[in-house]
Amino acid sequence: MPKNSDHMLATDREVKYAKPRGNRAEYRIKGALGLVLRVSAADTKTWTFLYKSPISHKHRKLALGLYPTLSLYAAKDLAQRHAISVHDGHDPRTDQSVDTFAALAARYMAEHLLKNARSGKPSGWTAETQRLLDRDILPAIGQHKAEAITRQQIANVVEAVAERGSYAIANKVLGVVRAIYRWATATGRLEVEPTRTLQKRNVGRPRNRILSDLELRSFWRDLTASGISQEIGDILRLQLLLGLRVGEVAGAAKSEIDLVEGLWVIPASRTKSQREHCLPLPSVAASILKSAMERAGESPWLFPSDKNDGPIKPKSAMRATLRLQKVQARPRICAAFESWCRQHSRPANPTTPEVISGWLKSLSTGNDGARVSRAEVKEHVAVVLADQRAAGNRINPRHPAIAAAVAAAPERRPDMGADRPGYSTHDLRRTFATGLGNLGISDEVIERLLNHAPRTVTGRHYNHAKYFEPMREALEAWERHVLSIVEGSQPSSNQIPIHPEGE
**How do the domains of the chain map onto residue ranges?**
99-204
pTM here is 0.61
> Which H/E stretch holds residue 114?
helix 101-119
Has residue 191 got a pLDDT over 60?
Answer: yes
Given this model, what pLDDT does residue 441 score? Answer: 92
Report the share of the chain in percent with pLDDT over 70: 84
Given this model, what pLDDT does residue 502 score? Answer: 38
Has residue 456 got a pLDDT over 70?
Answer: no
Least confident span in 34-48, 254-268, 410-424: 410-424
Q: Give CA–CA dist 383/185, Å, rounded.
A: 54
Has residue 198 got a pLDDT over 70?
Answer: yes
Candidates 319, 314, 264; CA nearest to 293 is 264
Least confident span in 129-138, 297-306, 325-334: 325-334
Give the end-to-end CA distance of the chain in Å, rounded to a whole number.
67
Quickly state the pLDDT bin for 371 (edges 50, 70, 90): low
pLDDT digits (tens, 9 = 90+) for 119-139: 555 566 778 888 899 989 998
Given this model, what pLDDT does residue 341 score? Answer: 92
Q: Give CA–CA dist 235/228, Å, rounded.
A: 11
Higher local confidence (pLDDT), 94 or 44: 44
Report the share of the chain in percent with pLDDT over 90: 31
Looking at every residue in the chain, the average pLDDT score rounds to: 82
Fold of the CATH domain 99-204: DNA polymerase; domain 1 (1.10.150)
Q: Are strands 35-40 and 24-29 parallel, antiparallel or unpaired?
A: antiparallel
Quickly state the pLDDT bin for 482 (edges 50, 70, 90): very high
Given this model, what pLDDT does residue 412 score? Answer: 58
The full DSSP string for 28-59 is EETT-TTEEEEEETT--EEEEEEEE-TTT--E
pLDDT digits (tens, 9 = 90+) for 162-183: 877 677 888 899 999 999 999 8
In three-state form (DSSP H/G/I as H, E/B as E, the rest C), the secondary structure along 409-458 is CCCCCCCCCCCCCCCCHHHHHHHHHHHHHHCCCCHHHHHHHHCCCCCCHH
Average pLDDT (396-406) is 90
- C-alpha of 281 from chain center: 28
Least confident span in 96-100, 242-246, 282-286: 96-100
Average pLDDT (336-351) is 90
Given this model, what pLDDT does residue 175 score? Answer: 93
- Sheet hosting strand 59-67, strand order edge to edge: 8-9, 24-29, 35-40, 45-52, 59-67
Q: Give CA–CA dist 245/425, Å, rounded.
A: 8
Given this model, what pLDDT does residue 457 score? Answer: 52
Q: How far is CA 153 from CA 148, 215, 310, in A?
A: 10, 46, 43
Q: Give CA–CA dist 315/426, Å, rounded.
A: 12
